[in-house]
Structure 1
Amino acid sequence: MTATMIKEFRLPDLGEGLTESEILSWKVAVGDTVALNQVIAEVETAKAVVELPSPFAGVVAALHEQPGTVVEVGKPIVSFEVEDARSSESAGSSNGAAPNGGAASQTDEAPATPAKREPNLVGYGAVVEHSGRPVRRARGTVRTDAVAPAAVPPAAAPPAAVPPAAVLPAVEHETAADSGTGERPRSTPPVRKLARDLGIDLANVRGTGPGGLITREDVQSFSGARHDDTATDVVPSASERERETRTPIKGVRKFTAAAMVQSAFSAPHVTEFLTVDVTATMDLLARLKGSKAFEGVKLTPLTIAAKAVLIALRNNPTLNSRWDEERQEIVQFNYVNLGIAAATPRGLTVPNIKDAHGLSLHGLATELSELTATARAGKTAPAELSGGTISITNIGVFGIDAGTPILNPGEAAIVALGAVRKAPWVVNDELAVRQVMSLSLSFDHRLVDGEQGSRFLSDLGAILTDPAMVMTMV
């Protein structure tokens, strides 16, 4: 038989120095055989949902975290049973091979191999602690250790009996001195987090779940009883509690909130507004949709407006810059990574189109379609969410005319596009019904003077009012 060993995969840094991620779902189960780079889990960082590929080929030995758990970078999340490459070197050795041809037991004369990191597709995981023959378990059983158990001599006493594993949920059973037994009370990660939030020591809670498992209801019941003992307030009834819904602040929404607060209180915002007649732009859009050159390409007012922003930046480059507080420098970008604010079920994200300044209208339209589809599916990669230089938010799709958009951190300006509406408008001193749009521009007044911001907004409005004006700007 081929010798095997256990290897851990630790949650890697998925980009931009993120410190934690939430396990959304496992794509594999204990006992499954996986191939190298096969997707094993879906996790949500503070910026996006990311698929994790397996750094090893082997059998899933343990899943250390449950879906819904927020895990710190560097913590083990899954263990694999893989072929021990060292077994081939020691094959036939009298003191290295086990009598039955299986994995060699580690003894005092054969010290454990020092831990080392092995690179994989998404970072550094898989730290080898020690080797040993893992115990194969049926799918759904409880794992009570975080790494492979050391080989047990034949004469060793069997471990204490535990309740039938098949009826227990997968829980961690760590040895922390939280009780007189020296064993951490049985519970799942979300329940332990709830207890921490409520300031409850799980050693004082009696578990009513299978095998003494402490459930969420046990913690909530204990919290209510403690409240009754220490206060005169009445604990809300179940029907009263149903009057409100509480959602943990985490993932994309937590990151967005922190970024917006940072931006609002660190960059002095100025917002200007301009309402323009975009009838000529809407006519151009209709012609392009009917042309063979744009057949199969999605074209919207955002497409034309995005191109207009890129053109207006050529004469107003200060809006495509960044304030470097640490170095006390103004960084002006000679390229444009155009951010597009996208509303997703997980919150607001602002992925950006790299080097958008070099794209044709056709190329820009294609990139916009792919960007928005990927964002709405929650599949935007972390790299696509960083490095933006200026952004657009299209509030017009919600029927809104104007707003005061908050800058994306690290950027000097953001443009909000309002809804295109039919309205009375003066044309050649006569009243006519035209299609109009309101533009909102917020900019960082440390970087952009009022004159510079006004000129950019005026140029943008001129292009959308009469697309032929582009000829005077390029």
Structure 2
Amino acid sequence: MGTHVIKMPDIGEGIAEVELSVWHVKVGDMVVEDQVLADVMTDKAMVDIPSPVHGKVIALGGQPGEVMAVGSVLISIEVEGAGNVKESAQPAVAVKEAPVAAPEVEPVVQSKPVAAAAPRPAVCQGPMVAREADERPLASPAVRKHALDLGIQLRLVRGTGPAGRVLHEDLDAYLAQGQSNASAPVAAAYAQRNDEEQIPVIGMRRKIAQRMQDATQRAAHFSYVEEIDVTAVEELRAHLNEKHGATRGKLTLLPFLVRALVVALRDFPQINARYDDEAQVITRLGAVHVGIATQADIGLMVPVVRHAEARSLWDSAQEISRLATAARNGKASRDELSGSSITLTSLGALGGIVSTPVLNLPEVAIVGVNKIVERPMVVKGQIVIRKMMNLSSSFDHRVVDGMDAAQFIQAVRGLLEQPATLFVD
């Protein structure tokens, strides 16, 4: 038997260090070639670290949240044969027998199946687990909420997922053993609670926190809100979906918003820009690269629809869908998550009435979409029901004047209220 040491790989683009985000294995686990061992976080994206060998994990080189240099020891695996290190030269890596608590992120889905991977153990039917009172079991937010609703103490449930993660099936097995009872959910709703939970701010959540803090400290934010009548564009969208939806795919409102930004920015090039405040240089772009803020399990991601000015409605719709899926699955590449010139953010049906979106530096503008509601409006002296929506946008006042911002949003409004003008050159 020998030892194969896997070092933190060079991910490229001059990156010298990365943050260890989550382990998918623990000491004692058997792993196979191409199995994902850990996720690491760069400045832009989450990256999978696969195993190049079959073997048994004998040491982990870091804990989630730790910043590790490229080339440092990530993990040691016992393998058949000589391995890649001599016995006398084995790295002095502390063996952590207990799984390390990971942040609240779901494991990233592997991009390709692992044919020889060891099957996951069946859901445990044994007795409950005796964890320490302050030991925080691994579980997703959905599992934690499910356990709370059932009145189950999560620390008593044996986890059969990666690194001992508690799954929904484990809760079902726990209930089947009689460790809970039918009155537990009702009792739990009124029980006095004194528990506390400390969640380390690491991985994607730390990157988001740093970027948001940096944006609010460096940029001179100001927001502008305008009301838009989207009745006509919604009628057009419904008509196009009825006529072409089966062959070209369904359209949401987002492709129309992207098209409105593209057309409006022709007259407002100072808004389709990036500001390097250290070099004191504003770069105005001819291309419109629209960032689409997307909520994923690991946090807020902003994949980029490149060259939106050259895309049709359906082309934009397909690209938005593709990028959103990649971001939610943690598979968006660094290139797909960088290079935007303006960002579009929407909470869909949860969009509320008004929001104050934070700039995605180094951009100088972000357009926030609020929910569509039906309201009585006065049109040509008559009270009629119209579909109304607010745009809540923020700008960097160091670069964009208030008058320019207001005129830009008014231009977007005019295009959406008269949707035929979206396609008139």
**Equivalent position of 2:39 in the other structure:** 43
8 Å contact from structure 2 (residues 58, 78) kept in 1: no
Among 271, 282, 285, which residue is 1:319 paired with? 271
Cα 1:365/1:63, change in 2 over 3 Å: farther
Paired amino acid for 2:196 = E
Q: Could you tell me the TM-score, scaled by structure 2's length?
A: 0.69
Unaligned 5+ segments in structure 2 are 102-130, 137-190
Match of 1:8 among 6, 9, 14: 6
**Is residue 363 of structure 1 aligned with residue 315 of structure 2?**
yes
Which residue number in structure 2 is paired with residue 302 of structure 1?
254
Q: How far did residue 371 of structure 1 move?
A: 1.8
Q: State the partner residue of 2:201.
A: 249
Q: CA deviation at 1:276?
A: 1.4
Alpha-carbon displacement from aligned partner over 1:45-99 (angstroms, at most 9, x marks no partner): 2654432234x4565664424784645133312346789xxxxxxxxxxxxxxxx
Residues 351 and 380, structure 1, Cα contact 8 Å, conserved in 2: yes
Contact 1:271 1:442 in 2 (8 A): yes
**Which position in structure 1 is the counterpart of 2:297?**
345
Give the superposition deviation at 1:409: 1.5
Partners in 2 of 1:12 and 1:368 — Cα distance? Answer: 30
8 Å contact from structure 1 (residues 395, 401) kept in 2: no
Q: Which residue of 2 aligns with 1:469?
A: 421
Q: Is the 8 A contact 1:27 1:40 kept in 2?
A: no
Distance in 1 (alpha carbons) for counterparts of 2:383 and 2:311: 38
What is the distance in 2 between the residues matched to 1:381 and 1:353?
13
Q: What is the CA–CA distance in structure 1 between the aligned matches of 2:212 and 2:263, rounded to whole Å?
A: 27
Question: 1:75-94 maps to which residues of 2 (within 5 A)?
Answer: 75-79=72-76
- Are residues 453 and 377 of structure 1, via their aligned partners in 2, closer, same or farther at CA, if it must alter by over 3 Å? same
Q: Which amino acid aligns with 1:19?
A: V
Kept in 2, the 8 Å contact 1:172–1:188? The answer is no
- Output the CA distance in 2 between the equivalents of 1:358 and 1:73: 41
Counterpart code for 1:340:
I
**Partner letter of residue 53 of structure 1?**
P
**1:146 alignment partner in structure 2:** 91
% same residue: 30
Contact 1:344/1:375 (<8 A) preserved: yes
Q: Are 2:346 and 2:369, in contact at CA under 8 Å, matched by a contact in 1?
A: yes
CA distance in 1, matches of 2:328, 2:259: 22
Query: Distance in 2 between the 1:275 and 1:245 partners?
Result: 41
Q: Work out whether residues 22 and 64 of structure 2, in 8 Å CA contact, stay in contact via their aligned partners in 1.
A: yes
Please tell me whether residue 389 in structure 1 is matched to residue 341 in structure 2: yes
Cα shift at 1:393: 0.8
State the AA in 2 paired with 1:25.
Answer: H
Q: Who is 1:172 aligned against?
A: 94
User: What displacement does 1:410 show?
Assistant: 0.7
Partners of 1:389 and 1:381 lie apart in 2 by: 18
Provide TM-score, normalisation by structure 1.
Answer: 0.63
Give the Cα–Cα distance (whole angstroms) in 1 for the partners of residues 14 and 308 of structure 2: 22
Alpha carbons of structure 1 residues 344 and 14: separation in structure 2 relative to 1, 3 Å: farther
- CA RMSD of superposed structures (Å): 3.6
Q: Distance in 2 between matches of 1:219 and 1:304?
A: 49
Give the conservation status (yes or no) of the 8 Å contact 1:274–1:440: yes
2:281 is aligned to 329
Secondary structure class of the residue paired with 2:24: strand
Distance 1:264 1:318 in 2: 20
Q: Tell me, what secondary structure is at the counterpart of 1:172? A: coil
Q: Where do 1:440-451 residues align within 5 Å?
A: 440-451=392-403
Distance 1:15 1:356 in 2: 26
SS in structure 2 of the partner of residue 363 of structure 1 = helix
Whole-Å separation in 1 of the counterparts to 2:197 and 2:421? 52
More displaced, 373-382 or 301-310?
A: 373-382
**In 2 relative to 1, CA 401–14 (structure 1 residues): closer, same or farther, beyond 3 Å?**
farther
**1:19 counterpart SS class:** strand
CA drift at 1:42: 4.0
**Partner in structure 1 of residue 108 of structure 2:** none
Unaligned runs of 5+ in 1: 84-101, 104-125, 135-144, 148-170, 174-185, 192-214, 221-238
Q: What is the aligned partner in structure 2 of residue 403 from structure 1?
A: 355
Once the two structures are overlaid, the 10-residue window that deviates more, 387-396 or 288-297, is 288-297
Paired residues in the alignment total: 340
2 CA distance for matches of 1:26 and 1:386?
A: 30
- Cα distance between partner residues in 1 of 2:278 and 2:99: 39
Q: 1:358 to 1:131 in 2, by over 3 A?
A: farther
Q: Is the 8 A contact 1:268 1:444 kept in 2?
A: yes
Aligned residue in 2 for 1:422:
374
Offset of residue 314 of structure 1: 1.8
Match of 2:326 in 1: 374
Which of 42, 52, 68 aligns to 1:72? It is 68
Equivalent pair of 2:27/2:60 in contact (CA under 8 Å)? no
Contact 1:10 1:76 in 2 (8 A): yes
Q: Secondary structure at 2:356's aligned position in 1?
A: coil
Runs of 4+ in 1 over 6 A off after TM superposition: 215-220
The structure with the larger Rg is 1
Q: Which moved more, 1:387-396 or 1:4-13?
A: 4-13
1:197-212 → structure 2 map (5 Å cutoff): none
The aligned amino acid for 1:337 is H
Q: Residues of 1 paired with 2:14 and 2:355: CA distance?
A: 30
Q: Contact 2:27/2:98 (CA < 8 Å) preserved in 1?
A: no
